[in-house]
Structure 1
Amino acid sequence: MNIELNIEKLVFGGDGLGFIDGKAYFVEGALPGERVLARITNDKKNYGKARLIRVFEPSPERVTPPCPYIQACGGCQYQHLHYENELRWKEAQVRESFLKGFGDSVPPIRPIRRSPKELGYRQSITLHRTVKTNQKPHRLAFIGRDNYSFVFIDNCLLADEALKTVFASEHALGKYESKRIFKVERGKGIVSSEEDRLYRVLLENELLWGHSRGFFQNNLGVTEMVAKELSEIIRDINPSRFIDLYAGVGTFSILSARKVPELCCFEESIYAIDCLKRNLKERNLSAAIFKGRVEQTFPNFWLGNREEGTLIFLDPPRLGITRELAEFFSKAEKISDIVYLACDLQILIRDLRILLSKGRYQITSVVPFDMFPRTKHLEVLARLKRV
């Protein structure tokens, strides 16, 4: 079924929002101020989702997407919008999300930090097997907008130039390998998840170890900006102990907290822990390293090591922290400051509501970072202080 409607605003995720007889419709690819024709793809009782067919009255903000694969791929939600306007809408979405989550208690939200690079910033890409489980070389592909078809491309505009050779090449995947991750090794080319080896990443003039099968931040320029913001918070708080939860290879402990008297790093990945130890050793830094799931190791540690002057830094995966860990923080004694870096805005709101539920903390600042330009994703840094 097709519908015709006016688009009022962009919502979190990048869809244009319009109404027909009071019912909300989220139209992929539509912009505020436009009158559009759209095809309903999912019709619920209280709302519907639709795909753009035609724009009758285009917005002055609309631009022609530079990517030739934009219709099939679906990885970018904002290529039809000038980058300055994308930033404006993303910041508005952060403000609206906090308003919905906290009402009159909305914390101070600072302007969004733009990425130094609008395109060509991704340091890794994931491509998927496109043939059945044989091990013959074949071209890999992105998963399409429909979540099941394959999209073969010659280049991704978001990817670092060094990754360009990966797209048109053929790759022989292992029998149980459904996808392969490719990463940039600065000055040496490409590493992939097929390999089991270390590689180097340059951040703020620091050469850090990463692992071909482990995690590392994708946008190095914005990662440096986050590290500088965290450094300023640390200087302001002047903690005696920095606890890095989901520490990874130690990126933020090293870039931001190396001068704190005591470092404690909690990490589950064996690949990350190996890199973390190497990165600390090369800089003659000492840290207590706790291996295992943060949700288990940290509460046990804290109950026997509660100290004033401790800054907790949370940088969890996209799913955020567990409800149990959030509730532990909400009731824990002697934690004076928490800094939470989230890569999913709605998950952050969920977790912050639990952290604040016992009245022990207040949010003193929120800083959005455009870690993933041209896509719906961004990262948000929230600072909490004990009341």
Structure 2
Amino acid sequence: MSVTLHIESTDHEGQGIARNDGKTVFVEGGLTGETVVARIMRSKPNYDKATVEQVLRPSPFRVAPDCPHFGVCGGCSMQHLDARAQVAAKQRVLEDNFKHIGNVQAEQMLPPIEGPHWGYRHRARLSVRHVVKKGGVLVGFHEKRSSYVADMRECRVLPPAVSDLLVPLRALIASLAIRDRAPQIEYAQGDGLPMLVLRHLEPVGDADLALLRAFAAEHQVQWYLQPKGPETAHPLPGEAHTLGYVLTEFGLRYRFQPTEFTQVNPHINAMLVRRAMRLLELRPDDRVGDLFCGLGNFTLPIAQRAAFTYGIEGSAPLIARARENAAGNGLADRVDFAVANLFEIAEDWFDTLPQLNKLLIDPPRDGALAVVKALPPAASGRLERLVYVSCSPSTLARDAAILIHEKGYRLAGAGVANMFPHTAHVESIALFVP
């Protein structure tokens, strides 16, 4: 069924929101202010799902998507919205989450952190499928709302040199004896050659190894093999590779394995670290905790400026990498690390830590609920500043509610970082003070 709708707003997934006979309709492809003809694709008791068939009155911010696979590939959903308007929409999502989930409001909205809109992805997980009906092997992201692999021949959010590998990779996988047992290629980029990690469910024979080596030489990439979990990833036999990235402003270089977590967008990461350092207002006598510290992305810049830095992370291999990075940058005597499950801590946990007067928290999407519940109240005067880096505005808003309404802190400032242009993903940073 097709209906004419006026798009009143957009939701956190970038869908238009309209009403049809009093019922909420989420409209894929609709932008705020537009009048569209939409087809109802799914009907639920409380809402409908629809997709735009025709735009009758377009938004002034509607643009033609750059990618020929837009609408089929599920990797990007907002290419039809002007890039600057995407950032404004993400800022509204953050503010709406603060209001409706946390019942809080930032005293100041910080300027958004922006960088390149294309070619920004230095990490990607590409699915691989041998599909006889489509003529061979497909390599790419999944189709929208589907487990099928999109028939992709380029990807504009990948660096051009990596995007250009999609078609050659299809031919390579098709030539392998294990082509039906290689479900994934993970890509990671540092300051050297692109790294490709081949997930394989059967041993890779000598003939296939020779094909991988030839591909690497021709296309200037490096291969890792991953027979089981991420911790099993290793270079091709007889090879050794060093993967790293640099925070130029701080003179720091980080080593990492291709399956270890690093930020997808190095341009935004560098600016996010700079913003975090400014918000922390570090002094030489500060004692700073970095929670969910990973391999030390924020920890090491803090350690350059503070008297003592304490990094905590739930992954023992990442803590080992963080220690290695601290030593490699001459900071081993200025920082200490510990392994702890920060999702399962007691409410008196903070009292067991070394004395700290400032915190940086950078949790995954689940947020830091147990951590904020364990923090001392603002009135204690023990914490001067808390910087919270978030990849989920809803869990940030939930945790902000506890910090403000239960612990007595103020939300002094918050803003977005456009880590994933052309997607609905919202990265943000917030400052809490007593």
TM-score by length of 2: 0.79
Which digits, 9 at most, give the CA deviation of each residue in 1:133-172, with x for residues without a partner? xxxx954331110232210312211112332244220346
Aligned residue number for residue 277 of structure 1: 323
What percentage of aligned pairs have identical amino acids?
24
The residue that corresponds to 1:187 in the other structure is: 192
Q: CA offsets, 1:234-288, max 9 Å, x none?
A: 2267762111111111011123442211111112234422321221002221322
- Tell me how far apart the structure 2 counterparts of residues 368 and 238 of structure 1 sit (CA, whole Å): 29
Residue identity in the other structure for 2:280:
I
Change in CA separation of 1:294 and 1:367 when aligned onto 2, cut-off 3 Å: same
Alignment partner of 1:224 is 2:270: yes
Q: Secondary structure at the match of 1:150?
A: coil
Taking a change above 3 Å as real, the CA distance of residues 50 and 217 of structure 1, as seen in their structure-2 partners, is same
Q: Name the CA distance, whole Å, in 2 between partners of 1:113 and 1:155.
A: 29
Q: 1:162 to 1:278 in 2, by over 3 A?
A: farther
- Cα RMSD between the aligned structures? 2.7
SS at match of 1:129: strand
Please state whether the residue corresponding to 2:129 is helix, strand or coil.
Answer: coil
Displacement of 1:118 = 0.8
Q: 1:294 is aligned with what amino acid?
A: L
Q: Which residue of 2 aligns with 1:201?
A: 245
Report the Cα distance in structure 2 between the residues aligned to 1:7 and 1:184, rounded to whole angstroms.
39
Matches within 5 A, 1:92-107: 92-103=92-103, 105-107=104-106
Equivalent AA in structure 1 for residue 397 of structure 2: I
Aligned to 1:22: 22
Contact 1:14–1:376 (CA<8 Å) still a contact in 2? yes
The number of residue pairs the alignment matches comes to 379
Distance in 1, Cα, partners of 2:409 & 2:373: 12
| 1:341 partner amino acid | V
CA distance in 2, matches of 1:372, 1:345: 14
Q: Which moved more, 1:93-102 or 1:31-40?
A: 93-102
Asked if 2 retains the 8 angstrom alpha-carbon contact of 1:337 and 1:385, the reply is yes
Gap change, CA 1:25 and 1:143, over 3 Å in 2: same
How has the CA–CA distance of structure 1 residues 270 and 180 changed in structure 2, closer, same or farther, with 3 Å as cutoff?
Answer: farther
Q: Deviations over 1:223-244 (max 9, x none)?
A: 1111111111222677621111
Return 5+ residue gaps in structure 2 as ranges.
198-223, 226-232, 235-240
CA distance in 2, matches of 1:239, 1:361: 23
Corresponding position of 2:68: 68
Aligned partner of residue 226 in structure 1, secondary structure: helix
Name the CA distance, whole Å, in 1 between partners of 2:179 and 2:274. Answer: 41
Distance 2:83 2:110 in 1: 15
Provide the residue aligned with 2:286 in structure 1.
Answer: 240
Tell me: CA distance 1:305–1:273, structure 2 relative to 1, closer, same or farther (3 Å): closer
Equivalent in the alignment of 1:373: 421
Structure 2 residue identity aligned to 1:337: R
Q: CA 1:176–1:254 in structure 2 vs 1: closer, same or farther (change >3 Å)?
A: farther
Decide whether the 8 Å contact of 1:162 with 1:184 is kept in 2. no
Q: How does 1:252-263 map to 2 (within 5 A)?
A: 252-263=298-309
**What's the secondary structure of 1:258's corresponding residue?**
helix
Superposition pairs of residues 1-387 of structure 1, within 5 angstroms: 1-103=1-103, 105-131=104-130, 138-168=137-167, 169=169, 170-171=172-173, 178-192=183-197, 194=225, 195-196=233-234, 198-204=242-248, 205-235=251-281, 240-286=286-332, 287-296=335-344, 302-305=350-353, 307=355, 310-321=357-368, 323-329=369-375, 334-386=382-434
Per the TM alignment, residue 355 of structure 1 is displaced from its structure 2 partner at its CA by 3.0
Kept in 2, the 8 Å contact 1:367–1:381? The answer is: yes
Which shows bigger deviation, 18-27 or 88-97?
88-97
Q: Cα distance, 1:298 vs. partner? A: 8.7
Kindly indicate whether the alpha-carbon contact (under 8 Å) linking 2:66 and 2:79 is maintained by their aligned counterparts in 1. Answer: yes
The alpha-carbon deviation at position 340 of structure 1 amounts to: 0.9
| Larger Rg computed on CA atoms | 2
Distance of 1:176 and 1:310 partners within structure 2: 52
| Distance apart, 1:60 and its partner CA | 2.5
- Distance (whole Å) between structure 1 residues aligned to residue 430 and residue 283 of structure 2: 14
Matches of 2:31 and 2:11, distance apart in 1: 10
Could you tell me how far 1:13 is from its partner in structure 2? 1.5
Q: Which runs of 5+ in 1 are unaligned?
A: none
Match in the other structure for 2:205: none
Paired residues of 1:228 and 1:256 also in contact (CA < 8 A): no
**Residues 175 and 242 of structure 1, relative CA distance in 2, 3 Å threshold:** farther
Would you say the 8 A contact 1:366–1:383 is kept in 2? yes
